[in-house]
Each structure stands twice: as structure tokens, then as C-alpha cells.
Amino acid sequence: MKKDLISVKDLTAGEIEEIFNLTDKIKKDKAGFANVLTGKTLALIFQKPSNRTRVSFEVGMFELGGYSIYLGPDEINLGIRESIKDVAKTLSRYVDGIVLRTFEHKNVIDLAQFATVPIINGLSDLLHPCQALADIYTIREKLKNIKGISVAYVGDGNNVCNSLLHACSKVGINMNIATPKGYEPDKTVLNEARVIAKTKKATINLSAKPKEAVKDVDVIYTDVWTSMGQEKEAKMRKRIFKEFQINKSLVRLAKKNALIMHCLPAHRGEEITDEIMESKNSVIFDQAENRMHVQKAILIKLLGEER
């Protein structure tokens, strides 16, 4: 049966560990994986812009011996020129896997339902699973022992925050989330994460107080205040999120060598200062690099022969 990657929630802790172990091998021996996806093709249906996701999937596929086809917003015109069902059924006859970056999360579910090839969620309004997996991998790479550590997410309770909630709870990382009132993470995701966290003895704290959230944590994470599709709200959000900036005075409250993380793209001077982005504990560009390595492991697991 084909496997999809729609949400981190659907992976077991063991499967996450398998992805990370394979990623370790891929990072150490790029040449050794040069032909594992020879003859395989990946379609990338993107309804929103992208730097990291598009490039890391395309380069990743190329380095594994496979091929990729980018289909931008004007090409397939998902659900408008053709129904999602028909796109799924047609593309399944040509390609071995599809990455979808879209607005409504339901589009990913629908595509997965009608496609006979694996579907990877390359970001929806609700979730960003590939990002969260690369993030936990990066934390694991830097801090080695991750069980029981604490991550503070400060900012908008958006898709990145939601997937991070799933991922942290799966691997037993404590999470403190600070958002302005009304900008909390998705309620269903939060409940799911709370149930999972309980089984791992991990905690999830929600507040509107960035200073409390970052106190003594091992990692501080943020993302843009205005996500793709919310551009009309940008001015209002800048005002509402003003007190949620990651800056020197906030970082000082965390553990001394706390990692600084951001999924990128960043709006320097808004959710994070230039100085903190460039500081020695910032692992932001390692995160970006790890997107490709972790996604290679995901591609091998979903599209490779040994699945």
C-alpha cells in the first residue's frame, strides 16, 4: 500500500527515528545514495511561492538519481481547471510521487485519497510536516540528547507551530508556546499533541507571555507573523505581534547556549532581529540545509523500492 506524508501525527516515534537514522547515513555518504531513485519522477504542485521546499526537493530528487517536475500556480490550476480527483488520477499514471503546497489542508487530504502514488504535504495552511521533521533532526544533531528538553515557540500559532507541536510531542520534547490572544495554534492539533505528549511525559504550555515561555529553554523558535495568504492582515499583525519579537533581551532569559531557530523566510527586524539571526547560537541555515537531507530520507522511504 502507498504511504503518504501529510502530518507528523501519522508517523510513529519509531518511524521518525528511522527517517533520522537514514538522514544521518545520507549526510555522511551522498555518493552512496546517488542511484537509489533512478527512474523515479516527483511532481511538485505549488500553489504558493517557495524557496527552500521547491529547491530542496528538486535538488534532493536529482541527487538521488530521480527527476522532478515543478508545476506552479498557473499550470495545473488545481480544482479550477480540473478537479483534484482528476489531477490525482492523471498524475498517478505518470509520476511516482507528488509534493503539494497549497492553502486549504483539505486539498492535501483529497489529493492523497484519489492518488495511487505517495503524497507529501509541502505546506498547507494547517501543517508543514517536512519543516518540523527537519527541525527536530537539527535539534537532535546539535544537542544530541533531545528527550526532555524544552522548546519555546514565540509568535503566530500557524502551520509551522502546529507541525512542531506534533513533532515535539512525538519525540518527548516539552513545548512552551507564546502567542497573542486569538493567534493560538489550531485547537485540534493542540489536543492531539497533548494526548501524544502525555504518553511521553512531555508538557505543552500556552501563554501570551514571551518572557515566561523562553525562561530556561534549550531552543527558541519563531516564524513570520504574516503567513502566505494573509498578506492583507500584515499591517494589523505587525501591531499585534510587536511584543513577540525574538531579540537580545528575550534570548537572555533562555539557557545560555539556547539554539535559535526559524523556518525561513524571515522578516528581519520584525519577528526576529538581524543580530539574533546572525548570532553564534543561530542554527537557522542548518535547518534550511537539513530540509534537503531529511526530505531525501522521506523520498527514499516513500518512493524507494524497499518500502
Q: Catalytic residues, which ones? A: 101, 128, 131, 223, 263, 291
Q: How far apart are CA 275 and CA 204, in angstroms?
A: 29
Among ligand CP, ligand NVA, none, partner that 84 touches (CB below 5 to 8 angstroms by kind): none
Among ligand NVA, ligand CP, none, partner that 158 touches (CB below 5 to 8 angstroms by kind): ligand NVA
Choice from 152, 263, 276, 300 touching ligand CP (CB under 6 A)? 263
Choice from 208, 265, 286, 301 touching ligand CP (CB under 6 A)? 265
Q: Burial of 285 by CB count in 10 Å (0-12 exposed, 13-18 middle, 19+ buried)?
A: exposed
Nearest to 53 by CA among 131, 158, 165, 108: 131
Nearer to ligand CP, 51 or 113 (CB): 51
- H or E segment and range at residue 153: strand 150-154
**Residue 222: which region, alpha, beta or left (left: phi > 0; alpha: psi -120 to 50)?**
beta
Strands 41-46 and 97-101: parallel
Among ligand NVA, ligand CP, none, partner that 287 touches (CB below 5 to 8 angstroms by kind): none
Q: Report in angstroms how near the CB of residue 165 gets to ligand CP at its nearest.
A: 17
SS3 99: strand
The position carrying cell 507528523 is 8
> Near ligand CP by CB under 6 A, which window of 34-42, 47-55, 68-76, 205-213?
47-55
Lookup: cell for 76: 495545473
Q: How far apart are CA 280 and CA 287, in angstroms?
A: 14
> Near ligand NVA by CB under 6 A, which window of 147-155, 196-204, 223-231, 297-305?
223-231
Binding track, positions 148-167, relative to ligand NVA; x by CB under 6 A: ----------xxx-------
Among ligand CP, ligand NVA, none, partner that 295 touches (CB below 5 to 8 angstroms by kind): none
Lookup: cell for 104: 486549504
The answer, yes or no, to whether the previous bond of 265 is cis (omega within 30 of 0) is yes
If one asks whether residue 228 binds ligand NVA (CB under 6 A), the answer comes out as: yes
Q: How far apart are CA 181 and CA 194, in angstroms?
A: 19
Q: How far apart are CA 108 and CA 131, in angstroms?
A: 16
Answer yes or no: are the C-beta atoms of 44 and 52 closer than 8 Å: no
Nearer to ligand NVA, 41 or 159 (CB): 159
Identity at 79, one-letter amino acid code: G
Q: How far apart are CA 299 and CA 290, in angstroms?
A: 14
Nearer to ligand NVA, 121 or 227 (CB): 227
> Near ligand NVA by CB under 6 A, which window of 26-34, 224-232, 238-246, 277-285?
224-232
Size of the site for ligand CP (CB under 6 A): 9
Among ligand CP, ligand NVA, none, partner that 51 touches (CB below 5 to 8 angstroms by kind): ligand CP
Binding track, positions 51-70, relative to ligand CP; x by CB under 6 A: xxx-----------------
Size of the site for ligand NVA (CB under 6 A): 9
Nearest residue relative to ligand CP (C-beta): 53
Footprint of ligand NVA on this chain (CB under 6 A)?
123, 158-160, 223-224, 227-228, 263
Footprint of ligand CP on this chain (CB under 6 A)?
50-53, 123, 131, 263-265
